[in-house]
C-alpha cells in the first residue's frame, strides 16, 4: 500500500509587497490618525467609513497611474449560476468609493457634503523599496461646492494638519496650481483637437520634476537620452509649440504678482487659461485673509501631479527638510500629500457634473517623515508586570492588576510558566516594562509587596561603578495597600529622568 504523502506545511512568509506592523508602529499610526481626524472634525467634516470592496465598474478608469480599468487593482469575479458574476476589487483609493457613496445617497446627504475617511487601500503594482501594495490614506473631500473657497479651505486644513502632527512651519510647503491654466497652455500651443498629442504633452509635463526644463524641452521635441543611455522618442513639436509649456513650468517668480504675469504670458489669449489664473488669485486672496502666507502655502505652476485626473486647482504638500538616502546622499524628503478638484468623478454615476475637491495624505510617508525628524520612534514603554510566585494564588495577582488598570495604569499578570522567576523578569525586559510587582509567600504573610523599578535597575547594571546610581534603590518593599501609589511614584520618576 502506497504511503500517504503529507501535505507540505505552508511557508510563514509575508506576501510580496506587503508587510506586518507591530505594537509601536500601530500605536504611532493610530495616534496620528486621531490627530488628523481632530483637525478634519474641527473644520466641520464628518467621518465616513465605506466598504473596502467595490465593483470594478464603480471604480472605473480613474486610477491615476494606469490606463486600463482593471490594471493596478486586486480584482476577482463573483461566481453566479451562469458564471457571469460582477467583477469586484479592493479599493485602490478613498476617492472612488466616495463618488459611489455620494451618487447612491445624495438625496439623504447635505449639499455640500463634507466627509473625511481613513483606512488601508490596495494597489496591485510592482513593489519596491518603501513601496507597498497596502498602505494607509487619510482623505478629506467636499462634494457639491463649485467655489474655489472649498479648494482654499482644503489647503488651509492641510497646512494645519501637518503642523498638528509635528511638522513645524518651515519644514513643509503646500504648493498650489490649476489644471485650467495648463488647458490654456495646450490651447496656446495650437494643438486643436489632437487629443493624442495633448496626452503626450501631459505625460511629458509629468516628467518635469525628474528631467527639468531642458529635459522637457527635448522630450517635447525630437527626444533625449535617458540616464541609462537609451534614446527616448519625443513628441515631435516645434520650438514655437513647446515654448508655452516651458513658460508655464518655469513661470514661478519670487513675487506672486510676477508669477501671475508670467502665467498670463504662457496662456496667451486662452479664456480657460485666464479663468484658471483668476481662480489661483482668488485662492491666494482667501488664504491670505486666513493668515496663510507664502511660508506655508504658495502658488507654484510646477505642481503637475496627476493633472489628467483633475479639472481645476491641484495642490501638493512637500516636506522641505533634507534626509540621507540609502546611499548616504542628501535629498529632500518630498511629497506626503496631494489633491485637487475633480468635477467629473460623480458624473459617471449621475450623468450630471458634480463639483468636488479633496486631499489625500499618505499616512505611512508622513510617519516616516516624523521618524526622520526624531519626533516619534523612540523606545515605547510596556506594561507593569505583576509576577506570579505561587500559581495557586492567581486570584491575588489578578486583584493587583485590576487595581492598577482601574487607576489608569497599563498592567498585566505574567501568564507564562511561572516556575522560573528569572524568565518572568526576562519577559518584562523584552516588553520594556517599567515596573515589576512581586508578592511571594512571605510578603503575603506580612501584608507587603516588592516593587522593582526595572528602568533604574537596568541603568545600575549598565553603570555599576557610578555612585549616583548605586545610592538609589531600585526595589522597594511597601504595604500591599500602597501598590498603586508606589507604582505611580516610580513611573513619575522615570518620566522625569527621561526629560
Q: Which residue has the cell 535617458?
A: 226
DSSP 8-state code for residue 450: E
DSSP 8-state code for residue 499: -
Q: At what angle do helices 179-188 and 256-267 cross, to 10 degrees?
A: 40
**What residues are designated binding site for L-histidine?**
93-95, 123, 137, 141, 305, 309-310
Contact between 266 and 241 under an 8 Å Cβ cutoff? The reply is no
Q: Which residues contact residue 436 at a Cβ distance below 8 angstroms, ignoring those fewer than 6 apart?
A: 384, 385, 386, 387, 424, 425, 428, 451, 452, 454
Q: Which of 161, 123, 118 is nearest to 136 (CA)?
A: 118
Q: Which residue has the cell 468609493?
A: 97
Give residue 95's Cα distance to chain centre.
15
First to last CA, the chain: 73
190: left (phi over 0), alpha (psi -120 to 50) or beta: left
Contact between 84 and 93 under an 8 Å Cβ cutoff? The reply is no
**What residues are designated binding site?**
93-95, 123, 137, 141, 305, 309-310
**Cell numbers found for residue 349:** 454615476
Q: Which residue has the cell 494645519?
A: 160
User: Would you tell me how many other CB atoms lie within 10 Å of the CB of residue 10?
Assistant: 6
Report the alpha-carbon distance of residue 116 to residue 134 in Å, rounded. Answer: 19
Report the alpha-carbon distance of residue 448 to residue 476 in Å, rounded. Answer: 10
Q: Which of 439, 472, 476, 434 is nearest to 455 (CA)?
A: 434
Amino acid at each position: 500500500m502506497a504511503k500517504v504523502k503529507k501535505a507540505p506545511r505552508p511557508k510563514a512568509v509575508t506576501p510580496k509587497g506587503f508587510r506586518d506592523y507591530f505594537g509601536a508602529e500601530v500605536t504611532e499610526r493610530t495616534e496620528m490618525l486621531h490627530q488628523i481626524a481632530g483637525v478634519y472634525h474641527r473644520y466641520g467634516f464628518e467621518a465616513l467609513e465605506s466598504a473596502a470592496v467595490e465593483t470594478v465598474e464603480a471604480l472605473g478608469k480613474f486610477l491615476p497611474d494606469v490606463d486600463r480599468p482593471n490594471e493596478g487593482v486586486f480584482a476577482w469575479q463573483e461566481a453566479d449560476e451562469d458564471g457571469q458574476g460582477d467583477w469586484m476589487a479592493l479599493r485602490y483609493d478613498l476617492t472612488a468609493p466616495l463618488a459611489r457613496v455620494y451618487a447612491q445617497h445624495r438625496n439623504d446627504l447635505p449639499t455640500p457634503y463634507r466627509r473625511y475617511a481613513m483606512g488601508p487601500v490596495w494597489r496591485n503594482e510592482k513593489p519596491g523599496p518603501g513601496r507597498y501594495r497596502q498602505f494607509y490614506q487619510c482623505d478629506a473631500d467636499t462634494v457639491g461646492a463649485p467655489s474655489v473657497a472649498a479648494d482654499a479651505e482644503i489647503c488651509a486644513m492641510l497646512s494645519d494638519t501637518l503642523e498638528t502632527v509635528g511638522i513645524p512651519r518651515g519644514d513643509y510647503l503646500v504648493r498650489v496650481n490649476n489644471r485650467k491654466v495648463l488647458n490654456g497652455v495646450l490651447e496656446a500651443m495650437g494643438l486643436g483637437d489632437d487629443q493624442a498629442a495633448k496626452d503626450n504633452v501631459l505625460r511629458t509635463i509629468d516628467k518635469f520634476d525628474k528631467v527639468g526644463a531642458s529635459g522637457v524641452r527635448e522630450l517635447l521635441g525630437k527626444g533625449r537620452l535617458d540616464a541609462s543611455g537609451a534614446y527616448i522618442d519625443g513628441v515631435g513639436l516645434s520650438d514655437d509649440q513647446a515654448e508655452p509649456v516651458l513658460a508655464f513650468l518655469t513661470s514661478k517668480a519670487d513675487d506672486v504678482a510676477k508669477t501671475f504675469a508670467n502665467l498670463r504670458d504662457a496662456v496667451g489669449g486662452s479664456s480657460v487659461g485666464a479663468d484658471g489664473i483668476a481662480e489661483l488669485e482668488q485662492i491666494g486672496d482667501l488664504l491670505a485673509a486666513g493668515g496663510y502666507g507664502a511660508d506655508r502655502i504658495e502658488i507654484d505652476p510646477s505642481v503637475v501631479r496627476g493633472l489628467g485626473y483633475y479639472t481645476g486647482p491641484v495642490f501638493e504638500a512637500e516636506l522641505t527638510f533634507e534626509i540621507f538616502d540609502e546611499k548616504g546622499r542628501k535629498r529632500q524628503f518630498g511629497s506626503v500629500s496631494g489633491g485637487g478638484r475633480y468635477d467629473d468623478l460623480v458624473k459617471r454615476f449621475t450623468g450630471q457634473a458634480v463639483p468636488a475637491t479633496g486631499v489625500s495624505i499618505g499616512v505611512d510617508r508622513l510617519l516616516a517623515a516624523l521618524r526622520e525628524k526624531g519626533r516619534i520612534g523612540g523606545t515605547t514603554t510596556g506594561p507593569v508586570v505583576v509576577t506570579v510566585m505561587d500559581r495557586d494564588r492567581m486570584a491575588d495577582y489578578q486583584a493587583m492588576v485590576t487595581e492598577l488598570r482601574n487607576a489608569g495604569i497599563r498592567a498585566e499578570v505574567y501568564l507564562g510558566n511561572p516556575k522560573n522567576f528569572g524568565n518572568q523578569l526576562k519577559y518584562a525586559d523584552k516588553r520594556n516594562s517599567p515596573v515589576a510587582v512581586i508578592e511571594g509567600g512571605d510578603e503575603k504573610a506580612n501584608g507587603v509587596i516588592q516593587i522593582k523599578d526595572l528602568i533604574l535597575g537596568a541603568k545600575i547594571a549598565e553603570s555599576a561603578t557610578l555612585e549616583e546610581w548605586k545610592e538609589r534603590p531600585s526595589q522597594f518593599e511597601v504595604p500591599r495597600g500602597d501598590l498603586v501609589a508606589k507604582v505611580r511614584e516610580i513611573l513619575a520618576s522615570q518620566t522625569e529622568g527621561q526629560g
